[in-house]
Each structure stands twice: as C-alpha cells, then as structure tokens.
Amino acid sequence: MIAAAAAAFVLLFPSVLVAGCYSSIFSFGDSLADTGNLLHIVGNHSTDFACLPYGMTYFGRPTGRLSDGRLILDFIAEALGLPHLPAYLDRRRVGGDFEQGANFAVAGATALDNSFFKERDIRIDPTIVSLGVEIRWFRQLLPSLCSSPSDCADTLKDSLILMGEIGGNDYINPILQRRSLEEVKSFVPSVVAAISSAIIELIELGARTLVVPGITPLGCSSAFLAEFQTQNVDDYDASTGCLIWLNEFSAHHNSLLEAELQTLRGLHPHATIIYADYFAAVTSILNNPNQFGFGDDTLVCCCGGGGAYNYNPRVQCGSDGCSLRDEPSRCVIWDGIHMTEATHRVIAGGLLQGPFASPAIADACRLQSVIYSSTSRMVS
C-alpha cells in the first residue's frame, strides 16, 4: 500500500510545489540535514567529506553535505520556493542573511549533551554538538530576525521547522563501541525527552509547524551490515537483507517518539507536529527499488572502500583508494551511512505529499491556514 502510493508521487515530484506556504525554514539535526556546519568546525581539508566525490551530482563540489548532492532539506526548500538553507556557522562568519531561514544541523550531532556519554565512558568526538547547543544558536540568532517577542512569534508562525533527523548518533556511537543493546536501549527515553524538550521550547517561542523525523533503519546501513556481518541467515530480513535486530531497535525509538509527539499534539493543539517516517521511506525503497528507479544491489554503498557492501572504515568515501560505482542515481546508499541525492528526492516527495509524513507538509500548510483564519476571526 505504502509502496504503491510512494511510487505514484515519484512521478509527480518535484513538479508539485507548495510555494508561499512558509516564509522561512529553520533546521536542526545531524548529518542527514547538515549543509556545511561541521565543515566549518573541523576545517575544509581535515576530513574526507571535504573532497570529491561528495557533492558531485548537483553542486559539482563538496559543500559539507554528506551525500553526492542535495539533501531532503534541499528538496523541501525548493518545493517551498525558498533558497537552499545556509549553514549557520558558515554565514555567521561572513555576515550572511538569515531572513529566509538558517540551518543549525551538525553532522554527528546527538540529541543528548556530551556529558551524558562522558559519564558512561562512551566516546563522542568533542567537536560534535548536541541538540541543546543548536537550540542555543537559534536563540542567539532570533533577535536579529525580529524586534520583539510578539514579532518573533509571528516570524516563527510563518516558518517551517525541521527537527532533524536527530537521535541516531546517540545510538550509533555506543553500538559501534560494542556497548550492550540493553544499555543502549535504556537511552531511548532520554533521547526522546531531549527531542520533546526542544520542540516545546520552539513552540513556546512561536513555532507552529514542525517536522519531526524518526531515525532511519540502522540495520540497512552498509556500515552496520559490514561491521556486524554474520553467517546466520536468520539475522537478516528476507525481503531487504537488513539486520533485523538493529531495525527492531530503530523501530523502538520511533515508536516512543511517535507516542511522545501524540502527547505534544494534545498539549499544543495550535501547533501542527508532523511525524516524518524515514524508516518507512527507506524500507519502501529497499522493498521496491525498481519502482523508484534504483538498481537491485540496494545495500551496496555507492562510494566506499570495497568488500561485500563496498564499505571499509579504513578507506572512507573521499579518501585515497575509495571506489565509486557507476550511476549514483541508481544507488540508495551513498557512503555507508548516508544516502544519495536520488534517495533524498524520493523521501522529500513522500514528506511533501505523503505517505511518509503524517500529515503531509502540503496538507499541514492548508491546515495551518484554517487555524490562523479561525484564530483571526475569534480575535476580531
């Protein structure tokens, strides 16, 4: 059912636009949404993703996006008639204009503060920021965009807020450090609470439309498939080839997140809180790759260091010796962790029109128009 609906919108997107719905976009999250912030933290020449073939498909150069081209965020901005979102750290250094939005997402970002992991002896790169830091950056920027609290509320009322994806790195780091699944699972309520707290803070500032993604199916990541490869066929999903235990973990996080969002909807009925189902989007593609224009070897990453999944942690995409498959547009996974522009396009279409967002962003635009209209009549 989902696959059939998804296949239908692929034919329509990107021709379906919702331009005029929102005057700006503000984005938070990790590498699935970062448009250059980490690049400006670590420097242009100290990391593999600062090199081609990153950015090859659309920009023709690396931009700090961990993909061959545009991200989900970029496609949403285009559909809304807005420019690609500037990375906050990039534009702050050159005195840029954030009137149409800003991106605070940082590759590797966690929902929980670094102190949470330090207390548990879990290694997190000290350059990596948390969702709390991103929210503080936003608060620091906001006064430059509006003159008073009521003016700021009006600004945010007309903005689309993208809350991630965030949370995946809170689990990826400890899992790769071989912490027990039971221990990592115990982090989920805290991760969801951190996301919820950020949503509440933004709503109290005036945000009215927020898109909150769940995490992707970690068991379908080439990096995890290579790291936890086993000869036991029962460990793998027969239809996708993904690791079952990791996908069950991802589904657990998403279930708790969805339940929390439902609670927030009841507490804040004037806000539209959209759940973006990245898990269903990715698994729909993997179950029906040809319908979406992808090749059959969906779990083999496009740019990597060889092996069964073309992933080798010692030969990363962008480093010397990495191999690049033909036709990135036929690949689902880009570098083992992140997705290709082609995958991002499909997911963005499913968020704008359905079925991967509830409600779809286009429907949320119409819903908020009704709410604002009703509120205005009540005030008058």
Residues belonging to the active site: 31, 335, 338
CA distance 350 to 74: 14
Interacting residues of 196 by C-beta distance below 8 A, sequence separation 6+: 260, 264
| 216, 279 contact by CB (below 8 A) | yes
Ordered alpha helix ranges (H), the chain = 2-12, 37-42, 72-79, 88-94, 114-119, 131-141, 149-157, 168-176, 181-185, 188-205, 222-227, 244-267, 278-287, 341-353, 361-379
Ordered alpha helix ranges (H), 36-112 = 37-42, 72-79, 88-94
Q: Around Cβ 336, how many Cβ atoms within 10 Å?
A: 25
Interacting residues of 299 by C-beta distance below 8 A, sequence separation 6+: 220, 222, 225, 240, 241, 242, 286, 309, 332, 333
Q: How far is CA 86 from CA 16, 81, 219, 300, 375, in A?
A: 24, 15, 31, 31, 33
Peptide bond into 359 cis (omega under 30): yes
Sheet containing 24-28, strands listed edge to edge, beginning at the edge strand earlier in sequence: 101-103, 24-28, 159-163, 209-213, 272-276, 357-358
